[in-house]
Amino acid sequence: MPDLNALQTVIGYQFRDLGLLRLALTHPSVAHEQGRSVQHNQRLEFLGDAVLGLVLTSELYDKFTAVSEGPLTKARAQMINRRTLAEQAKRINLSEYLILSRGEEANLGRSRASASADAFEALIGAIFLDGGFEAAKTFVLHSFRQAFGELTSIPTLDNPKGELQEILQAKSAESPQYEMVAATGPDHDRNFECVVTHGGVELGRGTGKSKKTAESEAALAALKKLRS
């Protein structure tokens, strides 16, 4: 059995019911190998996924009052994905504490990012059941602060032009306009500068090695301005 006291120290939470913590760490392979009704962490993973989503949704909603549903949804999706969850699990060395079947251990199951990501969500579910929503919220926000800071700005978006248009068209039918205002440098190494306007008002400027990059940078500058 793993050293549960060490894990509790790492996560900063002491369980009243250690059985919940063991359950969060128990991989489904244990039940499959033993061939009988053995509880594992999939149900806790299901619960933890919902708790995690609620905590981060609430945090994004409260902190970014000027941001519409679309960008908030995409920001949440960026924060809650398998890669991010695996990174969170790696940060606390969660794979070291997994309870695996002999076969899964032999097949290097402990090194699988998916197993650690699932256990991380199950851990959130276990904390929720053991200590309530506030305890789970404290753990989630502390964990995600490592990756996303204090959420003073919305996580970087993949489509700033789309996000800017969505925000502006929530208030007006007019779309933002992009204009190239400068192109400098030799033909093989050009630098472009773009300005984005809305209703005749300049919202932001951006530069880049292509017109597309310059427009995206202008949209990012406009988003930062609008959200400040």
pLDDT value, residue 161: 85
Q: How many domains does the chain have?
A: 2
Q: Which of 44-58, 67-81, 183-197 has the lowest average pLDDT?
A: 67-81
| Inside any domain, residue 84 | yes
Instruction: Pick from 26-30, 38-42, 192-196, 220-224 the range whose average pLDDT is largest.
Output: 192-196
> What is the rounded CA–CA span in Å between residue 26 and residue 93?
15
Cβ within 8 Å of residue 209, ≥6 positions away? 189, 190, 191, 192
What one-character-per-residue DSSP string does 87-112 give?
A: HHHHHTTGGGG-B--HHHHHTTGGG-
pLDDT value, residue 58: 93
Average pLDDT over residues 5-20: 95
pLDDT band at 156 (very low <50, low <70, confident <90, very high): low
Q: What is the maximum span of the chain, computed from C-alpha positions, in angstroms?
A: 72
The reply to whether 174 belongs to the active site is no
Q: Which of 26-30, 66-70, 204-208 has the lowest average pLDDT?
A: 66-70
> What is the rounded CA–CA span in Å between residue 45 and residue 196?
44
Domain that holds residue 184: 160-227
Residues 201 and 110 in one domain: no
Instruction: Pick from 75-84, 144-153, 154-163 the range whose average pLDDT is largest.
Output: 75-84
Question: Which is it for strands 177-184 and 191-198: parallel, antiparallel or unpaired?
Answer: antiparallel
Average pLDDT over residues 181-200: 89
CATH, residue 199? 3.30.160.20
Name the helix (H) or strand (E) containing 7. helix 4-11
Q: Please check the confidence at residue 37 and state whether its pLDDT lies above 80.
A: no
| Inside any domain, residue 153 | no
CATH, residue 92? 1.10.1520.10
pLDDT value, residue 36: 67
Q: List alpha helices for 13-171, DSSP H.
A: 18-25, 29-34, 42-63, 69-79, 82-91, 102-106, 113-131, 133-148, 160-169
Paired tokens of 16: 């009243």
> What is the rounded CA–CA span in Å between residue 199 and residue 60?
28
Ramachandran angles phi, psi of 37, nearest 5°:
-75, 90
pLDDT value, residue 154: 63
The reply to whether 121 belongs to the active site is yes
Burial readout 130-159 (b: 16 or more C-beta within 10 A, e: otherwise) = bbeeeebbebbeebbeeebeebeebbebee
pLDDT value, residue 214: 87
> What is the rounded CA–CA span in Å between residue 38 and residue 44?
14
Question: Pick the catalytic residue: 45, 104, 118, 121?
Answer: 121
Residues 172 and 211 in one domain: yes
> What is the rounded CA–CA span in Å between residue 72 and residue 83?
19
Residues 15 and 124 in one domain: yes
